Amino acid sequence: MNDFTNLTNVQKDVLREIGNIGAGNAATSMAKLLNKKIDMQVPSVKVVSFDEVMELIGGPDELIAAVFFRIQGEAPGTVYFILSIEEAEFLVNEIVPGNKGNLLGETANDFAISALQEAGNILTGSYLSALSDFTSINMQPSVPYLSIDMAGAILTVGLLELSQVSDYAIIIDTKINEQEEQKGVQGNFLLIPDPASLTKLFHALGITEYD
Amino acid sequence: MIEVNSIVKVGIADLNIVTAPGVIRTSGLGSCVGVVIYDDVKRIAGLSHVLLPDSNLAKQAELNAYKYADTAIPILVNKLIDEGARKYALKAKLAGGAQMFHFTSNSDIMRIGPRNSEAVLAILQDLRIPVIAADTGGNVGRTIEFNPETSKLKIKKASKEEQLI
């Protein structure tokens, strides 16, 4: 599996479904966590250059809060849950009402960061377990890591493994957001499978041939 | 501030060259290293955004030479010389090479930031280009901008003041 830049429509549909299942489960977890209705968008599957990966999130300079983990096992890859700083602070405030803690800078509040880390763990964990159940592939997540920094710096980590093989990445991007409020939490899940994992994922879901 | 006429942007695993009064910038360096090589009299500078330390890591049929420290830096030096820089006058400044996450696994790929810095320093030494200033390591992202007029490298980190080296 070397050339994944020309995915067929069926293959893209399968990857979209993977994003759907994962984010759907995560949206349910988030709804329970916040006791609010959560919507999700139809996932998009894109084959993009590394620079374009950053542009998906608003450019390499953009400050983001991201929970990230590596998937080990049969189908290695990387999962990110990404929020803007305002959304992350909003999310923390929803979980811990009254906490006005900053996430950035010298005045960063440890409690707020810890709450965000925990929310991220829950959401990415449910994303991954749905994925693993759906594909019957054994996926072992690393410990989740939280980082609040520039998008370029954070996202490069997920591209390293892949960058030894290719100059492009497949990104399965799903947005979830609060239904009612204008200014609610809106998060992006990014699943970046390692190139070698694609065959595994396709096989697991019944696509055996590349056409 | 001096009026900035143009900003040359360098993407990931890319490189480019600028002459005064332009400036050259790359954004969101994490484990990547931004290497600036310049001739301060000719006021010409090149910037390479190095993603990986060593092209021997490549498992790719068509090698992207701009991606690896050992292949990108010699190309950058040649381009600078083509544009009128003098080999013996070249100097370097670099930034980046952070370790964004503290991994428990000891996988080599996860130590890529420090390895990138080491590789860049080794290659600059091979090419006998002195490193005038460096801001590497830590666990923060950096955006850097070099001005060949002043030979200063401006480093911006998340939620921190800009610094000049």
Q: What is the pLDDT of residues A65-82, one digit of tens each?
A: 888 888 888 888 888 888
Does the pLDDT value for residue A166 go beyond 90?
Answer: no
Handedness of CA A53, B64, B151, B128 (dihedral sign): positive
From chain A, pick out residues whose CB is under 8 angstroms from the CB of B109: 160-161
Beta-carbon count within 10 A of B145 CB: 23
Instruction: Characterize A96-105 residue by residue with b for buried, 16 or more Cβ atoms within 10 angstroms of its Cβ, and e for exposed.
Output: beeeebebbe
Say if residue B4's pLDDT is above 60.
no
Q: State the pLDDT at residue A111.
A: 80
Best-predicted range by mean pLDDT (A32-36, A188-192, B83-87): B83-87
Q: Which residues of A touch B145 (CB under 8 A)?
A: none
Q: Which residue has the higher pLDDT, B106 or A190?
A: A190
CA pair distance B147, B149, nearest whole angstrom: 5
Contact B28 A156 (CB under 8 A): yes
The DSSP element (H or E) to which B127 belongs, if any, is: none
Q: Domain B7-164 belongs to what architecture?
A: 2-Layer Sandwich (3.30)
pLDDT of residue A211 exceeding 80? no
Compute the average pLDDT of residues B19-46.
91
Domains in chain A and their CATH numbers? 9-204 (3.40.1550.10)
Interface test with A, best of B16, B32, B49, B101 (most A CBs within 10 A): B101
- The answer to whether the peptide bond before residue A43 is cis (omega within 30 degrees of 0) is no
Highest mean pLDDT pick, A38-47, A113-122, B35-44: B35-44
pLDDT exceeds 80 at position A150? yes
Q: Which of A54, A61, A160 sits opposite B112 (nearest CB)?
A: A160
- Reference A68, options A184, A179, A181, A187; nearest CA is A187
DSSP A102: B
**Other beta carbons less than 10 A from residue B104's beta carbon:** 10
Q: Is the pLDDT of residue B1 over 50?
A: no
Q: Is B32 a catalytic residue?
A: yes
First-residue to last-residue Cα distance in chain A: 13
CB crowding B9-31: b at 16 or more within 10 Å, else e: ebbbbbbbbbbbebbbbbbbbbb
SS3 A33: helix
- What whole-number distance in Å separates Cα of residue A40 and Cα of residue B74? 48
Nearest Cα of chain A lies from the Cα of B37 at a distance, in angstroms, of: 22
Mean model confidence pLDDT for chain A = 81
